[in-house]
Amino acid sequence: MKYLVVIGDGMADNPVEALGGKTPLEYADIPTIDSLAARGTVGSVVNCPKPLPAGSETAILSIFGCDPLKHFSGRSPMEAAAIGLRLVPGDAAFRCNLVALEPGDQPYEEKRILSHSAGSIAGQDALDVVAALNSDPEFSAALRAADMYIDPSPSFRPLAVKHHCDPSGVCFIPPHDHLGEVIGPLLPSGKDAALAKVFADLMRLANRVLEHHPVTEKRRAEGKLGANGIWFWAAGTAMQLPDFREEYGCGGAVISAVPLCHGIGVLRGLEMVEVEGATGEIDTNFEGKLEATWASLQKYDFVCLHLEAPDECTHNGDLKGKVQAIEWLDSRLVKPLTERLDAAHMDYRLLLLSDHKTLTATRGHDGDPVPYLLYDSRIDSGRGGVYTEKAGENGPFVAHGCELLHLLFER
């Protein structure tokens, strides 16, 4: 028996006027997923328990069978695990997003956040931004004084580590939930005002260094958003998760483009499979992910395939892209994968779901219940119907997302 988890990140949504009042899942043409839904079970699940943040950092923990209320200590330690960045006790890790702020020399606090990803900056462009900061005498001195470093990454998602730091007294705000808003009220704040100021000062200084820096101007000249700022958020301290094999009796692999999903897998003792050209965006290497999933299924009984594109499209305000990402999840991943499993006469149980809602209306996350689909290749439930938010609401309700794996493994 093979156990497969397929996550369409941020697929679930609320009805959208531009789609005639349908949600993207209702609007998208997903015949394979719908046929699995017709023969399986569709219900609704809470993956982001209150009062924790609504996002993949809690939702994917739930999906991997770990109660976020018990295990969540912040997002960035999970991402650190994916890049082999070892946190020692006393270290705190942070996301240091490369962001695009309103250009110009107006006061920093008055600028708006244009993009949480600096227009999906990646590759050398992203490495150049961190290099520009690290080579700036004033910025690097400030970083040293703060006992911090920024780990360069070829994406908009570098991590920062601060030694001897307890971040619990500072409130950090995720940039993707405040696109288009003025920065001032969103800067780190909280009862540990001195620590909050360290981070806010670094963010302000980074903007000063980057605003007219050649690496920023180069992107602007290419018609792209310049990464003229950094944004600290997702603070967390070192964490441990229970071993997956001890719990479910098998090893497994995680295929994803994003460090968060990989990191949760690594902390669970699962193999992290990287796919060349997997970008976390609509242009990701679908076929590469398909082959990696198929290869992992030969090696392990448990495989998780994660597709970030629907979430990123929503954050980017790209509704057409979101619908396309959902349709490609169906036609380029789920369809060929289930066809191969069927052709190989492999029995399998599949859990397919959106980890959390990402709302077209706000371009931000939402912690409402999301629909899940559970399918067993040996059984036709005769349920009929499709995979949508509404179908989920009419099906079995799972109050704790961390119990989904038990359902998948029939525990």
Q: How near is the Cβ of 189 to Zn ion at its closest, in Å?
A: 23
What count of other Cβ atoms lies within 10 Å of the Cβ of residue 22?
17
Q: Rank residues 49 and 174 by Cβ distance to Zn ion and give the closer one.
A: 174
Q: Answer yes or no: are the C-beta atoms of 226 and 265 closer than 8 Å.
A: no
Q: Rank residues 40 and 369 by Cβ distance to Zn ion and give the closer one.
A: 369
Closest residue to Zn ion, judged by C-beta, is 311
Q: Rank residues 311 and 389 by Cβ distance to Zn ion and give the closer one.
A: 311
Question: Which of the stretches 150-158, 178-186, 303-311, 370-378 binds Zn ion when contact is defined by CB under 5 A?
Answer: 303-311
Name the amino acid, one letter, at 227: A
Which member of 79, 281, 311, 318 binds Zn ion (CB under 5 A)? 311
Q: Answer yes or no: are the C-beta atoms of 248 and 267 closer than 8 Å.
A: no
User: What would the DSSP string read from start to end of 204-269?
Assistant: HHHHHHHTT-HHHHHHHHTTSPP--EEEEEEEEE------HHHHHSS-EEEE-SSHHHHHHHHHTT
Q: Rank residues 160 and 309 by Cβ distance to Zn ion and give the closer one.
A: 309
Q: How near is the Cβ of 94 to Zn ion at its closest, in Å?
A: 17
C-alpha–C-alpha distance, residues 118 and 220, integer Å: 11
Q: Rank residues 13 and 311 by Cβ distance to Zn ion and give the closer one.
A: 311
Q: Rank residues 36 and 159 by Cβ distance to Zn ion and give the closer one.
A: 159
Question: Which of the stretches 91-99, 164-172, 295-303, 307-315 binds Zn ion when contact is defined by CB under 5 A?
Answer: 307-315
Q: Is 355 in the site for Zn ion (CB under 5 A)?
A: no
Q: How near is the Cβ of 364 to Zn ion at its closest, in Å?
A: 8
Q: Is 91 in the site for Zn ion (CB under 5 A)?
A: no
Q: Rank residues 23 and 32 by Cβ distance to Zn ion and give the closer one.
A: 23
The helix (run of H) or strand (run of E) holding residue 7 is: strand 2-8
Q: With 0-12 CB in 10 A as exposed, 13-18 as middle and 19+ as buried, what is 15?
A: middle
Residue whose token pair is 């017709």:
38
The pair of structure tokens assigned to 263 is: 């990191």
Q: Is 308 in the site for Zn ion (CB under 5 A)?
A: no
Q: Is 366 in the site for Zn ion (CB under 5 A)?
A: no
Q: How near is the Cβ of 174 to Zn ion at its closest, in Å?
A: 9
Q: Rank residues 56 and 338 by Cβ distance to Zn ion and give the closer one.
A: 56
Q: How near is the Cβ of 10 to Zn ion at its closest, in Å?
A: 5
Q: Answer yes or no: are the C-beta atoms of 338 and 21 closer than 8 Å.
A: no
C-alpha–C-alpha distance, residues 284 and 274, integer Å: 12
Three-state DSSP state, 341: helix
Q: How near is the Cβ of 208 to Zn ion at its closest, in Å?
A: 29
Q: Show the site string, 16-45: x = touches Zn ion by CB under 5 A, - = not.
A: ------------------------------
Q: How near is the Cβ of 292 to Zn ion at its closest, in Å?
A: 22
C-alpha–C-alpha distance, residues 26 and 16, integer Å: 10
Q: How near is the Cβ of 35 to Zn ion at its closest, in Å?
A: 28
Instruction: Catalog residues that contact Zn ion under the rule CB under 5 A.
Output: 311
